[in-house]
Amino acid sequence: MPSAITAGRVREALEAATEALAAAGVETPRLDAELLLAEATGRDRAPLAAEPEAGVVPDAGRRFSEMVRRRIRREPVAYILGRKGFRRIELAVDRRALVPRPETELLVEIALELEPRTALDIGTGSGAVALALADELPTCRVTATDTSKQALTLARENAERLGINGRVRLEPGTVPEGRSFDLVLANLPYVRDDEWEGLAPEITRYEPREALVAGAEGIEVIATVAPAAVAALAPAGSLAFEVGAGQAGAVAELMLDLGFRQVEGRQDLAGVPRVVLGRMGSG
Ligand SMILES: C[S@@+](CC[C@H](N)C(=O)[O-])C[C@H]1O[C@@H](n2cnc3c(N)ncnc32)[C@H](O)[C@@H]1O
């Protein structure tokens, strides 16, 4: 670890860390170095980066050095910081659940368009979709499920910390029995078995494999959960699945087979069809 990381000025600390992170294969070394130095010094990133001659006190330097060490081993920045922004909320994140991805915000956008009175988020992980929805659509009664006890505990901690605990029901399992929902949303595992080894070390070394990998085709979990999700829809209800690149067509067919009258794909910011939305009503 270069000594410039543990003592000296902002400029040297950032330059040394950027170089070390780039050598480790990190995709955005400068940005990550700035985020970690901001965390270590307790300052905001932009003003910190704008003051390259400011000093870094030894305690902050040591904290920074330890964080850079973790990042060199390719631990995701969100796990090192222990938090991730999603829509308007900030979630605590750790290895109990997947780091919420920006493209998943599309599920929340769809929910805001449809304004359901009741919604179910299947496979809630850290609670991202359910808690963002409860935050942005307070009239909606939100239920969230996960088969992972650890993920559900994290989601519960997030709900409590955000003060929206009373407005979101968190339940173990997949689809609660005997209840119906205007909208069911799900970002379930959709990575193919053979894709796993080729994913970034940030994912394969740190994120829970069972949160991501679905089977040989990638749509197995979606296909298994879909019939129960449809059975839990209120009349004229809607169902939205996040899907992997190239899976939208197969998932759309599956939904047409399950009786949806309208099925459409929605693209993420990179232009990838990312969500398949089926509506039982005429819309
Ligand atoms: C890709 S992660 C998504 C987490 C969260 N929704 C997000 O977007 O950040 C998938 C989640 O689905 C959960 N899961 C997998 N199979 C499930 C099932 N059959 N029923 C409920 N949850 C499931 C996993 O435990 C994991 O937390």
Reading the chain (283 residues) residue by residue, the pLDDT tens digits are 666 666 689 999 999 999 999 999 999 999 999 999 999 999 999 999 899 999 999 999 999 999 999 999 999 999 999 999 999 999 999 999 999 999 999 999 999 999 999 999 999 999 999 999 999 999 999 999 999 999 999 999 999 999 987 889 999 999 999 999 999 999 999 999 999 999 999 999 999 999 999 999 999 999 999 999 999 999 999 999 999 999 999 999 999 999 998 999 999 989 999 999 999 986 5
Ligand 1 midpoint to CA 257 (Å): 23
Residue 215 CB-half CA count within 13 A: 8
Ligand 1 midpoint to CA 126 (Å): 9
What pLDDT, on the 0 to 100 scale, is given for residue 218? 97
Which class is 94-279 in CATH? alpha beta
Terminal CA-CA length for the chain? 59
What pLDDT, on the 0 to 100 scale, is given for residue 2? 61
Residue 69 in contact with residue 36, Cβ under 8 Å? no
Residue 82 in contact with residue 94, Cβ under 8 Å? yes
Which residue CA neighbors atom 7 of ligand 1 most closely?
100
Ligand 1 midpoint to CA 50 (Å): 40
Tokens at residue 51, please?
Answer: 């003051």
What pLDDT, on the 0 to 100 scale, is given for residue 30? 97
Ligand 1: residue of 87, 89, 122, 147 to mutate (most ligand atoms within 8 A of CB) is: 147
Task: For residue 97, count CB atoms less than 10 angstroms from its CB and return exposed for 0-12, middle for 13-18, buried for 19 or more.
Answer: buried
If one counts every other C-beta atom within 10 angstroms of the C-beta of residue 283, the result is 11
Distances (CA, A) of 145 to 119, 124, 209, 235, 249: 11, 6, 18, 21, 26
Ligand 1: residue of 83, 91, 94, 98 to mutate (most ligand atoms within 8 A of CB) is: 98
β-strand partners of 8: 56
Ligand 1 midpoint to CA 127 (Å): 10
Closest C-alpha to 77, from 122, 27, 112, 118: 27
Domains of the chain, by residue range, sit at: 3-73, 94-279
Closest C-alpha to 151, from 171, 179, 176, 181: 171
**Helix-helix angle 10-23:29-41, to 10 degrees:** 130
Residue 75 in contact with residue 64, Cβ under 8 Å? no
What pLDDT, on the 0 to 100 scale, is given for residue 281? 83
| Ligand 1 site, CB within 6 A | 97-98, 100, 104, 122-126, 128-129, 145-148, 151, 174, 187-189, 211-212, 221, 225
Pairwise CA distance, residues 133 & 120, whole Å:
10
Ligand 1: residue of 79, 110, 124 to mutate (most ligand atoms within 8 A of CB) is: 124
What pLDDT, on the 0 to 100 scale, is given for residue 194? 97
Ligand 1 atom closest to the CA of 212, numbered from 1: 1
Q: For residue 254, report the phi and psi dihedrals to the nearest 5 degrees.
A: -60, -40
Ligand 1 atom closest to the CA of 99, numbered from 1: 9
Ligand 1 midpoint to CA 167 (Å): 20
Tokens at residue 100, please?
Answer: 């919420």
Which residue CA neighbors atom 20 of ligand 1 most closely?
174
What pLDDT, on the 0 to 100 scale, is given for residue 45? 95
Ligand 1 midpoint to CA 282 (Å): 29
Collapsing DSSP to helix, strand or coil, 7 comes out as coil
Q: Which amino acid is at 180?
A: S
Distances (CA, A) of 128 to 83, 87, 89, 121: 12, 9, 8, 9
What pLDDT, on the 0 to 100 scale, is given for residue 114? 97
Indicate the helix (H) or strand (E) that contains 181.
strand 181-186
